[in-house]
Structure 1
Amino acid sequence: MNGPEIHLTLAPELHLFAAPERRAARTRTVTDGSSSLGHVVESAGVPLTEVGRLLVDGHEVPASHVPRAGESVEVEGVSRPQQVPGAPLRFLLDVHLGTLARRLRLLGVDAAYENEDIGDPALAARSAAERRVLLSRDRGLLRRREIWAGAYVYSDRPDEQLRDILGRFAPTLAPWTRCTACNGPLHEADKDSVGDRLEHGTHRTYDVFAQCSDCERVYWRGAHHARLERIVTDALDEFGDRAA
């Protein structure tokens, strides 16, 4: 680019997206004179899904603003909890976030998940068609214009991922109401109605069951329940004011 020069300042939480030379305060940036400020920010490496307010000389402007020579631009991160237009709040996770998807479902959050790599165009199209917030660690995917809304998942550790998403979007929590396998709703089921789907030891030992209305998977408080209960308890301890 060989046009107007501006001074660009990225919020500290956005530095991880930018090259080291762009992380200092008031970085000199040359624009082409016609591209929007949103394009300039993305060219600096920052997906717009992670951008909050854009300030030019202290005044908020839209991403469509075309920078002029000498302007001082501040790029803020998203505010938390982040408000997403429309209801209900629903998510779509890419192929690399299966554990996060299951944990969100465990907490009753609507979290669709693709367990096969269907490609970025298809994911973006589904986000738009179903009005789901697309969660991904793929910065290129989050830059696709057709996604309805999106968010970068900052950590590669499931515990931190879950805490980050719950803190950022503040979804309503309703633990034990969704199938962790397919995201369908769970309903109480009596032993007689699900008995043919149980091993003999399970049938003899347990009395309380739930079944998915979509895939018909059966759940009970078995060997893994204590571990799952800890995930639920930790989430409710920190975000319990959002429980249904």
Structure 2
Amino acid sequence: MNGPGIQLTLAPELRLFAPPNRRAERVPTTTDGASSIGHVVESAGVPLTEVGRLLVDGHEVPLSYVPREGESVEVLAVDRPQQVTGAPLRFLLDVHLGTLARRLRLLGVDAAYENEDIGDPALATRSAAERRVLLSRDRGLLRRRELFAGAYVYSDNPDEQLRDVLGRFAPALTPWTRCTACNGPLEEADKDSVGDRLEHGTQRSYDVFARCVACDRVYWRGAHHARLERIVVDAVAEFGGGAG
């Protein structure tokens, strides 16, 4: 680029997207004089899914604004909780976020998940077709224009990932109402109706069951229940929702 020079300031939480030599508080940036501020921000490495307000010399501007010589541009992160308009809040997770998908489903959050790598174009197309917020750690995927909406998952730790998504979007939590395997709704099931699919020890030890309406999977409070209960209790305590 060989045009106007501006001062670009990224919010602290956005600087990780920039190259190491451009993570200072204020970075002199040369533009081409025609590109929008949205293009300039993306060129700095920041996915627009992570961008909130844009301020030029203290005044808010749209992504389409073309910066001029000497202006100071401040890029803020998205507000939390982030509002998603145009559809009910639902998520789509890429192949690398399986544990996060299961934990969201455990909490009753609608979280579709691709357990195979179907490719960026197909994921983006599904996000648009089903109007789901795509969650990913792939910055390139989040730059695809056909996305309905997207969000970068900042950690590779499942506990931190869950807190990040719940804090950012504040979805309604209805624990124990969704199948962790397929995302379908759960309904109560009596022992007689599911008995032919249970081991003898399970039939003898448990009386409360649920069944997935979509895939017919059967659930009961087995050996892993205490660990799952801890995830639910902690999430509800911090982010609200009704325990199921």
Relative to the length of structure 1, the TM-score reads 0.98
Structure 1 equivalent of residue 24 of structure 2? 24
Stretch deviating more after TM superposition (15-24 or 227-236): 15-24
Q: What's the counterpart of residue 116 of structure 1?
A: 116
Describe the SS at the equivalent of 1:174: coil
Where structure 2 has 5 or more consecutive residues not aligned to the other structure, the ranges are none
1:154 deviates by: 0.4
In the TM superposition, residue 206 of structure 1 has moved relative to its aligned partner by 0.8
Equivalent-residue separation in structure 2 for 1:32 and 1:21 (angstroms): 21
Query: Which position in structure 1 is the counterpart of 2:188?
Result: 188
Which residue matches 1:128?
A: 128
Tell me which residue corresponds to 2:142: 142
2:37 corresponds to 1:42: no
Q: CA deviation at 1:26?
A: 2.5
Per-residue Cα deviation, 1:154-178 (whole angstroms, up to 9, x for no partner): 0000000000100000000000000
**Structure 1 segment 82-101 matched on structure 2, within 5 A:** 82-101=82-101
CA-atom RMSD in angstroms = 1.0
Aligned length in residues: 243
**How far apart in 2 are the matches of 1:107 and 1:195?**
26
Q: Distance in 1 between matches of 2:37 and 2:178?
A: 41
Aligned residue number for residue 15 of structure 1:
15
175-184 or 27-36: bigger deviation: 27-36
Partner SS, residue 34 of structure 1: coil
Q: Per-residue deviation at 1:29? A: 0.4
SS at match of 2:179: coil
Distance change (3 Å), C-alpha of 1:65 and 1:55: same
Q: For residue 63 of structure 1, what is the aligned residue in structure 2?
A: 63
Cα distance in 2 for partners of 1:156, 1:199 equals 36
The equivalent residue for 1:51 is 51
1:243 Cα deviation after fit? 3.7
One-letter code aligned to 2:74: E
- Off by >3 Å, runs of 4+ in structure 1: none
- Cα distance, 1:94 vs structure 2: 0.2
Once the 2 structures are TM-superposed, how far is the Cα of residue 196 of structure 1 from its aligned partner?
A: 1.1
Task: Check conservation: 1:26, 1:72, Cα contact below 8 A.
Answer: no
Q: CA deviation at 1:87?
A: 3.7
- Determine the C-alpha separation between the residues in 1 that align with 2:139 and 2:230: 32
Give the CA deviation at 1:141.
0.3
**Cα drift, residue 197 of structure 1:** 1.1
SS at match of 1:211: strand
Shift of 1:23: 1.7
